Amino acid sequence: MTPELESAYSGRKLAARAAKTASSVAVGLALLPLFAVLAYVASQGARALSVAFFTEPIGVRGAGMANAIVGTIELVFLASAMGIPLGIAAGLYLAEYASTPLARAVRFSADVLAGVPSILVGVVVYAVVVVWMKQFSAFAGAAALAIVMLPLVTRTTDELARAVPDSLREAALALGAPRWRTAIFVVLRTAAPGIRSGCLLAVARVSGETAPLLFTAYNSRFFNESLFDPTSTLQVQIFTYTMTPNDDWHAQAWAAALVLVALVVVLNVLARRVLAEREPA
Amino acid sequence: MTQRALSTPPRLPPRSLRASVEGNGSSVDRAFGAVGAGAAGALGLVLVGVAASVARIAWPSIQATGLSFVTTSVWDPSRGTYGALAFVFGTLVTSFIALLLAVPVALGVAVFLTDLGPRRLQRPVSSLVELLAAIPSVVYGLWAALVLAPILRTTVQPALAAVGGPLFSGPNVGFGILCASLVLAIMLLPTIASVSRDVLRAVPADLREGALALGATPWDALRLVVFPHARRGIFGAVLLGFGRAIGETMAVAAVVGSRADISPSLFAPGYTMSSVIANEFPAASSELHVAALAEVGLLLFVVTVAFNVAARVLVARSREGSPRASQAGAGSGGAA
């Protein structure tokens, strides 16, 4: 190697090393806020958590958030019951009739809908459901969350079902299975682990959604008596307490944040587990 | 042998059997198709429904304020004056600063995950970045209001104020445009990083290998081959991040300061389109107030949809690959 070539190469090596260092620094910068947020939520939350937090309803001082915890779980269940079946049906349709104009248009609008700010979903559900029923309700909140879930579930199902090899479809059809049986018992079943994982991720996502609940499920200091009453949720309660200048309430908000983050992280880990089972080593 | 198999005409099942199979399947099949089409159609309808119903509630305000809605910045519900310019300004400024902060870091992370990082670290870092995206927006808001804003007030903003200039002057309360931009940057990071990672991964391996085989360092390969190839997709990732920043609500609402002002200072309290809806909609005082907030929502809808459509088109095109890439793929396929 001639000296000038050698020196040119060492310059490039230096640049490569600098780039490597810079990308590591970027990773450090990205993970810093993650650890900062998690550390604060864990330490402040753990300090404020108590048995009363899980057993007492929202109140003035030292009380808990039992009704908000129940409210969050209730809304997520209801939203899943509405959003997941509809999303899977739509996604399966998109995959099985992939190239029809309707499928293309719907796929595109699912992508666009996934990008629409969730607060607008709240406005719409307010305009349609809340105004129509003349009151805030758990049902309205769940409908808003279901709309947020819908494009996520649809696109996951669509993509995974399209990834199922055509040879499986052809084998089923060749054995005389009609198209709907092929779709449900061959395509859907083959793609099931991935779809389960996608649904869990969608559930995790809406468990933390707050904006669409502000004026649909609204808030309440009591356990709701029916699904058509306003309902308190952990998310909305955290926001309400964040905006107050009261230290006791801030402590409650940290505790609620800890419960919420734990819920979301557990759902995410579960989703990954389900996905990992699909790919044996 | 294959010749003979091919030359035999395919034998169809007897007509009666065929009829029974088709007859058995087709009515249920048609029902299946209809149910699926219904579900898919419902999804399309939701999107149209969002636009239509927001526009319908906004109509009184559109009629009452006309163009002055987007050209004036006085927002005073008690006097019935509605000008949304300050919200548009706040949204654009916070999103822009957030992008400025997030894009370099996100690209660094993406490159770490595809090319430059040690392979055994790539998977854990990738999961941690996804965890960053999983934390709910309200939790970021809580953290920003109670931890980040005090840090800004006591250390960061005084230091910046020492630098001087119109950007770094004015009241120092912690809450404001700068704080909102910082939280937004944290929240955008995982979106931009993971989409760019996917785009970079979609660059055909032969291009990278070719560059490396010619003696390029990993950085040279990235700079000269991978980045030019993935340029459009990365731009799409950034647009997607921008779309997300514009719509982000809870974290911003917690720290933006909630004042409809247009000020050059980054320390000043501001307001954004989404956070004004979050704060005022539940307690809107009059029908016109509700309509004006819905019109803000309509603006928000149009802007985010435009950004998302543009971003999706760019990302999808870069995934399909340029003609050069498909040629390279075809070439290697032929050689194998």
Number of helices and strands in chain B (H, E): 16, 2
Looking at residue B12, its pLDDT comes to 52
In terms of Cα–Cα distance, which of B37, B89, B29, B40 is closest to B263?
A: B89
Q: Give A103→chain B minimum CA distance, Å.
A: 8
User: Which runs of consecutive H residues, i.e. helices, occur in A49-137?
Assistant: 51-55, 66-96, 101-115, 118-125, 131-133
Is the residue at A9 inside a domain?
no
Looking at residue B321, its pLDDT comes to 52
Cross-chain residue pair B304–A116, CB shorter than 8 Å: yes
Mutate to test the interface with B, among A25, A96, A108, A116 (most CBs of B within 10 A): A116
pLDDT in tens, B121-177: 999 999 999 899 999 999 999 999 999 999 999 988 888 888 878 888 878 888 999
Letter string b/e over residues B137-149, b meaning 16 or more CB atoms within 10 A of that residue's CB: bbbbbbbbbbebb
Looking at residue A1, its pLDDT comes to 60
Is the residue at A145 inside a domain?
yes
**B278 chain-A contacts, CB cut-off 8 A:** 119, 211, 214
Given a cut of 90, whether residue B79 has pLDDT beyond it is no
Is the residue at A228 inside a domain?
yes
pLDDT classification of B86: cutoffs 50, 70, 90: very high
Is the residue at A43 inside a domain?
no
- This prediction has a pTM of 0.87
In terms of Cα–Cα distance, which of A235, A229, A82, A244 is closest to A149?
A: A82
Domain count, chain A: 1
Q: Which domains does chain B have, with CATH numbers?
A: 68-321 (1.10.3720.10)
pLDDT in tens, B276-299: 999 898 888 788 999 999 999 999
Is the residue at A34 inside a domain?
no
Given a cut of 60, whether residue B5 has pLDDT beyond it is no
ipTM of the complex: 0.91
Looking at residue B246, its pLDDT comes to 93
Looking at residue B3, its pLDDT comes to 44
Mutate to test the interface with B, among A242, A265, A273 (most CBs of B within 10 A): A242
Q: Which of 272-311 (B) contact A at CB < 8 A? A: 274, 277-278, 281-282, 293-294, 297, 300-301, 304-305, 307-309, 311
pLDDT classification of B50: cutoffs 50, 70, 90: confident
pLDDT classification of B21: cutoffs 50, 70, 90: very low
Contacts of B80 (CB under 8 A, 6+ apart): B286, B288
Mutate to test the interface with A, among B24, B28, B47 (most CBs of A within 10 A): B47
Q: CATH number for the domain including A225? A: 1.10.3720.10
Is the residue at A225 inside a domain?
yes
Out of B29, B54, B217, closest to residue A120 by CB: B54
In percent, how much of chain B has pLDDT > 90? Answer: 47
More confident residue, B324 or A4: A4
Residues B219 and A16 sit within 8 Å (Cβ to Cβ): yes
**A116 chain-B contacts, CB cut-off 8 A:** 47, 50, 247, 301, 304-305, 308
pLDDT classification of B327: cutoffs 50, 70, 90: very low
Distance of alpha carbon A134 from alpha carbon A119, whole angstroms: 20
Looking at residue A61, its pLDDT comes to 60
Q: What is the DSSP string of A122-185?
A: HHHHIIIIIHHHTS--HHHHHHHHHHHHHHHHHHHHHHHHHHS-HHHHHHHHHTT--HHHIIII
Q: Give B168→chain A minimum CA distance, Å.
A: 23
Is the residue at A186 inside a domain?
yes
In terms of Cα–Cα distance, which of A263, A264, A241 is closest to A252?
A: A241
Out of B109, B111, B254, closest to residue A239 by CB: B254
Looking at residue B27, its pLDDT comes to 79
Average pLDDT, integer, range B67-93 = 90
Q: Can you list the residues of chain A whose pLDDT is less than 50?
A: 280-281
Cross-chain residue pair A23–B109, CB shorter than 8 Å: yes
Looking at residue A281, its pLDDT comes to 39
Is the residue at A5 inside a domain?
no
